[in-house]
Structure formats: structure tokens, C-alpha cells
Structure 1
Amino acid sequence: MKPFLNLFFASLILVSCNGPKKNSPIDVAFSSDAEHLEELNTECFQYLGAKDTVRLTTHVDGTNVTGSLDYSFFEKDKNSGTIEGEIRDNMIIAEYTFMSEGVTSKRQVVFKNTEDGWKEGYGEMKTVDGIPVQVNIDSLDYSHQMALTPVPCD
């Protein structure tokens, strides 16, 4: 009987050492794979007016945020570019690098998460190191109707 028990425990040890299958749902959920993490932390928002569209895609890593921002206003030049900044006090504060009429430019953008959605703040700006930035982030105007609400990412 003792040889049978030894064989049984040896088999049990071998089976338990195999661990979970590769690519199991548990492995995928806790994977550090960059593509998987990007999917978990990517969100898309859009304002769609009668003739105007603003689209924001964010990739959040802790308090850091990167993504894309596109403006398409009726009878105005389209602006399309990237953001890089931080999330602080329910706001996205980022540098927007964009292309308009074949020229690359930069400016600061600030979006506040309101009950209507993400709204861009407008206020007095000054130029610092060649980049327009808000003079006072705490006194920006968010009273306009262009709220960016969640949409499925493409």
C-alpha cells in the first residue's frame, strides 16, 4: 500500500507544478503586455454638433495622460494632433501638438470633467517658451455647450 501512496503523491506533485495554462483568462487579465494595458486605459470622447466635431482619445497611466485630439469646426481649418500631460483635480492639463494648414504648432489645453462631460476651459493665455499657456487655470470658463461624452473607440 505504501508504494501506491508514494506514487499517488508523486503524481499529485507533478500535476500541481504545471500551474495555469498559458494564455488563460487569468494570465491575460494580469498581463503586463503593453497592448493589453493600453486597451484597459484607453477612452474616447466626442462632441458632435450640427456642423462641428471634437474628438479626444486618452491613454491614462497613473496621473499621466497621452492621446489624440481632433477639432473639425465648420468653415475653419481642421486641427489634428496629440496631447501629453497629466490628470489633476478632475482636469486634463496637457500640451497639444497639432497640425493645421501644414504647420505644426503647440498650445496648452485644459479639459474639466463636468456633469455634462469633458469641457475645454477657455481663458487668458500668455506665451511661455514659444507655447501659449493659460494664465490662470483656476479661473477658466467652461460655460459653453461643447461637452465631450464617452463614445466607443475605433
Structure 2
Amino acid sequence: MKKQLIFFSILLFFYSCKSPKEESIETKEDLKSQALASCYKMEGNAGIIAFQIEHAANPITGKLIYSLSGKDRNQGSFSGLLIGDKLTGTYTFHSEGIESTRESIFLLKDGMLIEGFGEIETKGNAAKFKVPESLTFDGSITLTTTDCELLAASCIVDFGRIKSSLTGDCIEPSKLEIKLNPLKDGATTQGSPVYILFNEDKSQAEIFFVSTMTTEVIKKTNEGNWAGSDYKLISWKGYVLQRNGIAVFGG
């Protein structure tokens, strides 16, 4: 009986010595992953999504921006881990001045990042997937590698700045002189403002939309206003911006 106890103790000793090593090896194997590029982008009629990776080793960190048509631009930071072919992390972003977080999971496949979708649960300003293991990677959002210099030149990852079509520069709209506030029934209301930039001879005006981080150039008409497909800028007690004949911004 005593010999059996001694033998069992020896086995237990060797097992306890071996386990941490095996666990360490398994952890290293889990952390083996494909190489991440520095910059990714998806661009089309729906808008632009850009991901600039600033630290490509775990923990992965970078800037992630969603600038989609008809939606407020989300811009913020990503922090997570790349384990195998899955990049899982937290996207902390600002939209309309409010900070929120949501869990984001990408599949790294053939050098592309494919975003996963699934049922989410929200608590306050934080959103997480209910069952991360059952996500769908349908390819509807697929980011491909892009040149980081070209991405920087587009201003998309330059927080708070928009590329001007008139000057070609990255401009911070809030520093422009002409600011127009939202209007409802002719009165100022809450919401994101727009900013106006003229070229040198004032033959063109560029509208900077802060909510979507986009711009639109309109040209001077024979009547002395500036007009485009939907918008008309009128110089009256300052400026009034109309959309389809309705005053939507003024200042």
C-alpha cells in the first residue's frame, strides 16, 4: 500500500511539472496567426470603411472608421487579439458626440478582413455578441489591403478632418469661419452643423457635413447664389442653406 502511494505521488509530481509547459506550448500555438497588413479599406457607393493597424502584434490596436452613406460617421479605436484566423476586439467609437463600444470580430482570410455578424445584446452604450461562436462571415463587409500613404491622403483616418475637394487638403471643419446651424421651421434646432468654404473668387462653395464627414461642392449661379443638385446656398443675413427648397441650415 505504501509503495502504491509513493508511485502515485511520483506520477502526480511529474504531471504537475509537465502541465504548465504543455499549457504554455498550447497557448503559443493558439497565438500563431496570419500576418496582418498595416492598412485595410472597403470603398464603394455605400461609403468607406478603413482600418489602420498601429500595432500588429497582440494586443492588436489601430484606428477603425465607418463612413457610410446616409449614416453618421463612426470613428474610433480598436483593441483586440488575433488568435488563429479570428481578430476579436472592442471598437470604441464616437458618433454625434457620444462614446460607445461594440464587440467586433473579423475573419482573416486570403489577406482580407471579413467582418462577422450575429445577434447582439446592448447594455447602455456597450454592445456585444450573444453567441460569438455562431457569427456569419458573409463577405458583405470585406476589407482589402491598401497603401497607407493613399489612405492618409484621403484624410479618412485623420480624426476630425475631411479632405477638401477645393483645396485637396485635410481640413478640420470646426476651424472654418462660416458655420451654419440646423434649422427647423426657420428656427435653430439641435444637431450637427455644417461649415462652408469658398474658393478664392467665390465661384464655388464647399459644404462640409460634420455628421457624415463628407463634402459637396456647389457653384455660383447667375442669380448670385450657389447651387448643386440638391443644395442651394443663399447669402441673406449671413447664409442660408436650402435642400430641395427648404431651409435646413443657417447662420
Q: TM-score, normalised by structure 1?
A: 0.66
Unaligned runs of 5+ in 2: 1-35, 150-251
Q: 1:99 to 1:118 in 2, by over 3 A?
A: same
Is this contact kept in 2: 1:42–1:60, CA < 8 A? no
Matched, 1:78 2:61: no
Match of 1:153 among 140, 148, 158: 148
One-letter code of the match for 2:106? Answer: F
Aligned to 1:106: 101
Residue 118 in structure 1 maps to residue 113 in structure 2: yes
Q: What is aligned with 2:92?
A: 97
Alignment partner of 1:138: what SS?
Answer: helix
Larger Rg over CA atoms: 2
Residues 1:142 and 2:146 are matched in the alignment: no
Higher relative contact order (CA 8 A, sep 6+): 1
Give the superposition deviation at 1:51: 3.2
Alignment partner of 1:88 is 2:83: yes
Distance (whole Å) between structure 1 residues aligned to residue 125 and residue 97 of structure 2: 18
Residue 4 of structure 1 aligns with which residue?
Answer: none
SS at match of 2:38: strand
The one-letter code matched in structure 2 to 1:78 is R
Alignment partner for residue 52 of structure 1, among 37, 47, 51?
Answer: 47
For 2:180, the equivalent position in structure 1 comes to none
CA contact (8 A) 1:84 1:94 kept: yes
Structure 1 gaps, min length 5: 1-40
Q: CA deviation at 1:129?
A: 8.1
RMSD: 2.1
Q: In 1, are the aligned partners of 2:119 and 2:130 still within 8 Å (CA)?
A: yes
Is 2:42–2:144's contact at 8 Å kept on the other side of the alignment? yes
Change over 3 Å in CA distance of 1:119–1:77 after alignment to 2: same
Decide whether aligned partners of structure 1 residues 129 and 63 sit closer, same or farther in structure 2, where only a CA change above 3 A counts. farther
- Identity, % of aligned positions: 27
Aligned residues: 114
Deviation for aligned residue 1:130? 5.6
Q: Aligned partners of 1:88, 1:59: CA distance in 2, in Å?
A: 18
Shift of the 105–80 alpha-carbon distance from structure 1 to 2, 3 Å rule, reads: same
Residue pair 2:79, 2:91 contacting (<8 A) in 1 also: yes
Equivalent residues of 1:90, 1:112 under 8 A apart:
yes
- C-alpha distance in structure 2 between counterparts of 1:78 and 1:58, whole Å: 19
What CA distance in whole angstroms lies between the structure 2 residues aligned with 1:144 and 1:121?
A: 8
In the superposition, relative to structure 1, how do residues 91 and 107 fare at CA in structure 2: closer, same or farther (>3 Å)?
A: same
What displacement does 1:128 show? Answer: 6.0
**Helix, strand or coil at the partner of 2:148:** coil
Greater Cα shift, 73-82 or 139-148: 139-148
Which residue type is aligned with residue 99 of structure 1?
A: H
Could you tell me how far apart the structure 1 residues matched to 2:136 and 2:111 are?
A: 14
